DNA sequence: GCTGTCAGTGACTGGCGGGTCAACTATGGT
DNA sequence: ACCATAGTTGACCCGCCAGTCACTGACAGC
């Protein structure tokens, strides 16, 4: 049994590959550069991966799988009776959001690549699949909340989902660009407040920042600079 | 003066190029395929464009310039006194949104490419520039509205902008995927309602779907199927 | 009809980079 | 020491495609 293979080789290659993909996108990342960055040769790369795309797929699939794991857990937990209580329900969702966005932060390089689409059009389906799967979980999860009068009854479900998804989606896109980790919990709490104001029933709304806002705790920032208006739609429309 | 050039050649090439770019992305679109689709030869392509990227830049730049035109017009129009009246102000914004989304619909092929990032990472800056420019216009435009008490004073401006931009951004992404043109005005009106509920002051809120919803006109759809909940973030998936 | 010009052509070139493999090297067993 | 085995290397091969250019032929003017 002569010569042992470097047990870290594959990990080093995956790390290097992620960095190169994030920097240049799938198409323009070069296998030579990936192996060089890992301190190995081109040949070594092909000992561990069938092709450049194979490495990419492994990266993306494992990341999305781990992300999906958080989502898949929801239906089970939701059978719980906490959902009879709106306040506790909101806390549950907040905790879920926090878990998910924490993961996004930790994997911000790859997530940025996926969200910004540097993975060439042929890989959109991976993201789409994940999205569809998530949507399905959400639909069944939330049916409960709907029955419990959590939401306004005059909503257009397509638009409301665009509305909610858009807000969190955009925050995710913003997050992966940051250099320093922000106060995730505070941000998600505020986001939840705005979303609930937008689509929640009056009953649910009562559980959100009960009355006046500026009491003490988590600094409701008053910012005259860059106020907000009903446009900015579009593209990277904001920072 | 021998031989006239086909006056439609460049237009045919641009059209074909747009289609190929939309289908395959910048990197994988082939100049041969573009010219073939235009019914011309590869050589003809290079009579009109310095390179493949040149054609791409021309397409993107002209489209973004036309889009920016709508946005740039806002500050001038906003000097108007309609902005003293909240209801008229909302109608103004709605009209603007409609104009912009109408344009997006008409150019959905290219917009899809830009939003989904099939243009290789090196062209993000074009979109980013546009976004930054838009942001600037919005900031100065809305400063007015803030002074007039249009918005809640406990907003975190970064998050509120993510919230608003996200909603419209997501709707744009959804729109460019559709095969059939939806009722844009109805959709944007509902979106505005949700957004205003999320960030508007109580005063502004009073101008939105005054009281109960289901009166007559624009069908407030009640949809038990796929209800909506505070999740779906993320990529197409939303929280 | 003849000629000069120039839009348009498409075979060809060059190089880039994904993927291969014969040679090389480190290691453990005898 | 020497061999057998398996990990590692990087020069090489080759397909692909952006970009070139000598050539073709349509057309205007005479």
pLDDT at A6 over 80: no
Report how far residue A116's alpha carbon sits from residue B121's, in angstroms, rounded to the nearest whole number. 8
Is residue A151 within 8 A of residue A199, CB to CB? The reply is yes
- The residue whose two tokens read 């344009």 is B103
Coil, helix or strand for A200?
Answer: strand
Class for the domain spanning A56-205 = mainly alpha
DSSP letter assigned to residue A151: B
Q: Which of A167, A226, A238 sits opposite B131 (nearest CB)?
A: A238
B8-49 folds as Arc Repressor Mutant, subunit A (1.10.10)
Q: Which residue ranges does chain B devote to CATH 1.10.10.60?
A: 8-49
Q: Which nucleotide is nearest to A44 (CA to C1')?
A: D8
Average pLDDT over residues A54-82: 86
Model confidence at B115, pLDDT cuts 50, 70, 90, reads confident
CA dihedral B159, B164, B166, B169 (to 10 degrees): -150
Which protein residue lies nearest to nucleotide C3, measured between its Cα and the C1' atom? B2
Q: Using the beta-carbon criterion (under 8 Å), do A163 and B194 form an inter-chain contact?
A: yes
First and final C-alpha spacing in chain A: 57
The number of residues in chain A equals: 239
Report how far residue B16's alpha carbon sits from residue A102's, in angstroms, rounded to the nearest whole number. 43
B3 touches strand D (CB under 7 A): yes
- The region that residue B69 occupies, defined by phi over 0 for left and psi between -120 and 50 for alpha, beta otherwise, is alpha
pLDDT at A226: 35
Greater model confidence, B194 or A214 = B194
DSSP letter assigned to residue A149: T
Q: How many Cβ atoms sit within 10 Å of the Cβ of residue B21?
A: 25
Q: Using the beta-carbon criterion (under 8 Å), do A104 and B234 form an inter-chain contact?
A: yes
Inter-axis angle of helices B184-199 and B86-106, nearest 10: 130
pLDDT at B85 over 50: yes
Coil, helix or strand for A57?
Answer: helix
Greater model confidence, B127 or A228 = B127
Average pLDDT over residues B203-213: 68
Report how far residue A143's alpha carbon sits from residue B224's, in angstroms, rounded to the nearest whole number. 8
pLDDT at B238 over 50: no
- DSSP secondary structure of chain B: ------TTHHHHHHHHHHHHHHHHHHHH--HHHHHHHTTS-HHHHHHH-SSHHHHHHHHHHHHHHHHHHHHHHHHHHHTSGGGGSHHHHHHHHHHHHHHHHHHHHHTHHHHHHHHHTTT-GGGHHHHHHHHHHHHHHHHHHHHHHHHTT-B-TT--HHHHHHHHHHHHHHHHHHHTT-SS---HHHHHHHHHHHHHHHHB-HHHHTTSS-S-S-SSTT------SS---S---STTT--
Greater model confidence, B75 or A179 = A179
Report how far residue B155's alpha carbon sits from residue B149's, in angstroms, rounded to the nearest whole number. 12
Q: How many Cβ atoms sit within 10 Å of the Cβ of residue A73?
A: 13
pLDDT at B160 over 90: no
Report how far residue B62's alpha carbon sits from residue B65's, in angstroms, rounded to the nearest whole number. 5
pLDDT at B2: 60
Cα A118–Cα B167–Cα B146 angle in degrees, nearest 5: 120
- The region that residue A226 occupies, defined by phi over 0 for left and psi between -120 and 50 for alpha, beta otherwise, is left
Report how far residue A120's alpha carbon sits from residue A220's, in angstroms, rounded to the nearest whole number. 41
- Interval A211-226: pLDDT, tens: 444 444 444 443 333 3
pLDDT at B3: 62
Q: How large a percentage of chain B has pLDDT more than 90?
A: 41
Average pLDDT over residues B195-221: 66
Q: What are phi and psi of A200, to 5 degrees?
A: -75, 155
Is residue A228 within 8 A of residue B142, CB to CB? The reply is yes
B63 burial class (0-12, 13-18, 19+ CB within 10 angstroms)? buried
DSSP letter assigned to residue A51: S
Average pLDDT over chain B reads 81
Element (H, E) at A86: helix A86-106
- Interval A180-212: pLDDT, tens: 999 999 999 999 999 889 888 888 888 876 544
Output the six-digit token pair for A123. 């890989």
A43 touches strand D (CB under 7 A): yes
Cβ pairs bridging A and B (under 8 Å): 352
- Interval A150-166: pLDDT, tens: 888 888 877 888 888 88
Which protein residue lies nearest to nucleotide C5, measured between its Cα and the C1' atom? B2
Q: Which of B120, B127, B138 sits opposite A236 (nearest CB)?
A: B127
Is residue A175 within 8 A of residue A182, CB to CB? The reply is yes
B6 touches strand D (CB under 7 A): no
pLDDT at A1: 55
Q: Which residue ranges does chain B devote to CATH 1.10.357.10?
A: 56-205
Greater model confidence, A74 or A101 = A101
pLDDT at B219: 42
Half-sphere exposure of B147 (CA within 13 A, CB side): 9
pLDDT at B58 over 80: yes
How far A4 CA sits from the closest chain B CA (Å)?
A: 39
Q: How large a percentage of chain A has pLDDT more than 90?
A: 40
Contacts of B108 by beta carbon, 8 Å cutoff, 6+ apart: B175, B176, B178
Burial A8-28 (b: 16+ CB within 10 A, else e): ebbebbbbbbbbbbbebbbbb
Model confidence at B169, pLDDT cuts 50, 70, 90, reads confident
Contacts of A80 by beta carbon, 8 Å cutoff, 6+ apart: none
Q: Using the beta-carbon criterion (under 8 Å), do A195 and B198 form an inter-chain contact?
A: yes
Greater model confidence, A107 or B138 = A107
Report how far residue B200's alpha carbon sits from residue B195's, in angstroms, rounded to the nearest whole number. 8
CB-contacted nucleotides of strand C (7 Å): 4-11, 17-22, 25-29
B30 touches strand D (CB under 7 A): yes
Which chain B residue lies closest to A172 (C-alpha atoms)?
A: B234
pLDDT at A71 over 80: yes
pLDDT at B213 over 50: no
């Amino acid at each position: 049994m002569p010569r042992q293979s470097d047990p870290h080789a594959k990990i080093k290659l995956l790390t290097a590959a992620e960095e190169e993909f994030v920097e240049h996108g799938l198409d323009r990342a070069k296998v030579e550069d990936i192996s060089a960055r890992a301190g190995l040769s081109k040949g070594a790369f092909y000992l561990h991966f069938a092709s450049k795309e194979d490495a990419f797929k492994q990266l993306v699939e494992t990341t999305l799988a781990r992300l999906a794991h958080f989502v898949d857990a929801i239906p089970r937990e939701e059978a719980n009776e906490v959902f009879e209580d709106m306040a506790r329900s909101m806390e549950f969702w907040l905790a879920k959001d926090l878990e998910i966005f924490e993961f996004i932060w930790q994997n911000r390089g790859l997530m940025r690549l996926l969200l910004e689409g540097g993975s060439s059009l042929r890989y959109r389906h991976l993201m789409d699949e994940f999205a569809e799967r998530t949507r399905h979980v959400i639909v069944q999860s939330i049916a409960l909340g709907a029955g419990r009068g959590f939401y306004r009854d005059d909503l257009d479900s397509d638009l409301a989902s665009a509305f909610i998804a858009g807000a969190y989606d955009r925050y995710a896109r913003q997050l992966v660009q940051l250099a320093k980790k922000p106060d995730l919990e505070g941000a998600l709490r505020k986001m939840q407040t705005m979303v609930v104001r937008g689509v929640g029933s009056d009953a649910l709304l009562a559980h959100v920042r009960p009355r006046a806002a500026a009491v003490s705790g988590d600094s409701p920032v008053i910012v005259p600079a860059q106020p907000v208006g009903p446009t900015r739609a579009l593209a990277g429309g904001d920072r």
